Amino acid sequence: MGKILQTKISESIEILKSHKSKVDNYKSSKRLDSLLLLKRNDYSRLEDLAIELEISVTTLRRWLNRYKSVSLTTFLKKETRNRPYSITTPEIHEGLKKRISDPDNPFNGFWDAQNWIKETYGVEVNYKSLWKHITTKLDGRLKIPWKSHIKKDPQAKEAFLKLPTTLAQVRDSLNKDNYDSINLYFQDESRFGLMTLVGSCLSAIGVRPKVHYQHKFANTYLWGKLFSYQWR
């Protein structure tokens, strides 16, 4: 024979029902249902009530013991995790935060972050704990990164952005007595071949990672120049 329920619910059914609209999560809703069923005397055995609520007897017993020791509001409040994760040392936390916020140096995945912690701090971290810490504490996500060619020259990019200023300086430096016009040509090139596949990278929300890539298969170049005024 199962254990007889002897928990007395002090609140009225009306008061319990009034908390329905205040509950905002599934577990708290189940706790409130357990109090309502007990108040109505629908069940006399602990096991029967646990089956109705689709929870274990141990969980139901823990809920009722908690109800006896706290107020109804506290009882229905969502429980938070009090014990810290095993990796939440300030040094490792700040290191991870800085790394996943760097768009130019993202992790290749959670396994990469796991190896980085081991190499940097000499600590072996459980994969599941690391995944939970990064996704919940640091808002880290796997994303498809922007591709940046491995041979890309940052100085060439800066020079291209300054092209209008450079052209103005060239025009002003010309001897107007010897030259009455200049021809401006545009040159471009393209390489055709197999595209290198780029996987997901781990970074914080709001940060778009960038990775270097390189075509490693057979390819060919096409190039040309254009004089925009006369189209030749």
Task: Decide: residue 11, CB within 10 A, 0-12 exposed, 13-18 middle, 19+ buried.
Answer: middle
Asked if residue 11 has pLDDT above 60, the reply is yes
Instruction: Determine the Cα–Cα distance for residues 62 and 99; give it in Å rounded to an integer.
Output: 41
Confidence of residue 232 (pLDDT cuts 50, 70, 90): very low
Q: What pLDDT does 86 receive?
A: 58
Confidence of residue 223 (pLDDT cuts 50, 70, 90): confident
| Element containing residue 105 per DSSP (H, E) | none
pLDDT in tens, 34-92: 888 888 887 778 888 888 888 888 888 888 888 888 888 888 887 665 454 556 688 89
pLDDT in tens, 177-190: 777 777 777 777 77
pLDDT in tens, 138-148: 889 888 887 77
pLDDT (mean) for 9-15: 87
